[in-house]
Structure 1
Amino acid sequence: MANPSRAVRTPIHEIRAFNRFYTNLIGALDYSRHLYVPYTLTESRVLYELAHAPHLDAADLRSELSLDAGYLSRLLGKFERAGLVERAPSAPDPRRQRITLTARGRDAADLLDERSREAVGSLVADVPAAERERLAAAMRTVRGILEGAAAGSVADSAADSVRPSSRPRQADLLLREPGPGDLGWIVQRNAAVYAAEFGWNADYEGLVARLVADFAQDHDPHLERVWIAELDGRPVGCVMCVRDEAPGTARLRLLLVERDARGLGLGDQLIGACVEFARGVGYRDLVLWTNDVLEAARTLYQRHGFVLVAEKPHRSFGADLVGQDWRLPLHERRRG
């Protein structure tokens, strides 16, 4: 008879053991620092999301945090009575409730964020510097594999999806200008990914091909740019920043990250590069067009400050969709 103590530890055993360890560790840390006082953990998570994505609707919060609608409504009512949030109809869709932090709510969120940074800082203070990157990489691996099993989010919101294999070091990730063949790769991978994930037909490939061809044939390198995200020497993502028809406006186009490269923050990096470039060369606004089926993309855009300004139903790429226009002001306009 096999000795139970020598039994092979399955992933279930390891996950349960890690969960007990992590829960005890974080629980002790939170208790000793009174991390969330006077808020519960869920209340703190809601404040965090509102502070870091300031244009959220109640439906977005419910989806992002997997909260019951009734519970979230009561929680927001409590926050509103405490002067932490304000609720109002969303401008693009009055059926939705837009939630924003008040000055008092932002102070509360900032305090919780400061406590969290201090708590985590104390946790890793005794970890040798050489081991910290290994620790971070292991955490990215755990998060990525389990998120991938649970979700499988959309291509346009790649930062919050996952890679189902071991995570590379950050040094292995690179954003670069396109080289020979990369523009063709953008067309091919957009067509393949959206066909696989949403069933879009060849009309979408034709649209992408026209956009890429227009850029290749006539673009101003000082005002327009393409980024390729490279992982372990191969392209895994892209985004374009091009001039819009409206004066002083740039347009973000063709954001994509391959499924096996998600969970590394590449979507955030690609959008951030586009925003930084557009702001640096003097554009006043950055706009983009997307579709409602890319639900997780909304959170990513909101995280960078984009605001939904218009929606319109249409039939394209063999599907009934709702097109969405988003806008990010890059420079505050002077008041007269």
Structure 2
Amino acid sequence: MPAAAERSTKGRPTETRADALEALAELVRDDLEACNRLIVARMQSPVELIPRLAAHIVAAGGKRLRPLLTLAAARMCGYRGDRHVKLAACVEFIHTATLLHDDVVDESALRRGLASANAVFGNKASVLVGDFLFSRSFELMVEDGSLPVLAILSRASATIAEGEVLQLVTQNDTATTEARYLEVIRGKTAALFAAATRIGAVIAGRDAEDEAALEAYGMNLGLAFQLVDDVLDYDADQAKLGKTVGDDFREGKVTLPVLLAFAAGDESEQAFWRRTIEDQEHGPNDLSTAQRLLQRHGALAETRRRAEAFGAEAKRALARFADGPERRALADVVDFAITRGR
């Protein structure tokens, strides 16, 4: 077992916490390599633009977090076959397809520090290749042949789309409630985390309680992950973040830091948020003003605290499983998620 995933996370230096994902990848290295080979194989198409564009986003260096969760969850549950490899690839195709679509919707220029696919190949090609990858994911589900797995992953795909549409509805609206915001991120981010981990229990033949526990782990991990992303959009090194700092602000996305600062702000501050978020009127110094207001009201620190609370729930969900390298690695991934950017 790699040392980074075996040691307690308490008091651990940031650099070691960040190694948790690498430790998890090392733990399931053979499975991950098989998954990567399958992804490359299934990206192929006689339509030359499809593998070229798909390879562009894959080459951007994603950490394969979601498929890693499927691989590790299955192993933790005692599964020793190879179905989890195909299903992990399915999860990654769903995720990659949503990234392609999201970058078009958000008009993003960067993805993981490189030019986004839509910036290189155009919006039409990105949307259509995203559709291709969704189709590939459903081919993999059908090949697996499990109706429960098909139900979980197909429902997650629909939920992701619902979350993205709900985000579009709440965009530019400072009257959005925290409950509504959490509904958005449960759909657009956490649902796939939850599905990715739950199917590990399903293919291992575990009972409904174990399925529910792994779904809770994934859901809470996904919520924590997205909340930290929301913090990093205002408080990160752009080179490390892999996208332009302030993208959410410029696009008028209503995230938890903004909601907290808006609620705590005086009349002039609330007018600032309405102008920049609702009316989309931006001056050259508005991002720095937004960052200052978020710091003044402790909105970024409070958002991280909320992420830590969801992370604690994720770890509690693992308690029903026997101690072992996979369980410890999955717990360490929670620390990776909530300490990013520190």
Q: Give the number of the structure whose residues are more often strand, by fraction.
A: 1
Q: Indicate the structure whose relative CO is greater, using CA pairs within 8 Å and at least 6 residues apart.
A: 2
Which protein has the larger Cα radius of gyration, Structure 1 or Structure 2?
1
Q: Normalising by structure 2, report the TM-score.
A: 0.30
Larger proportion of helix: 2
> Normalization by structure 1: what TM-score?
0.31
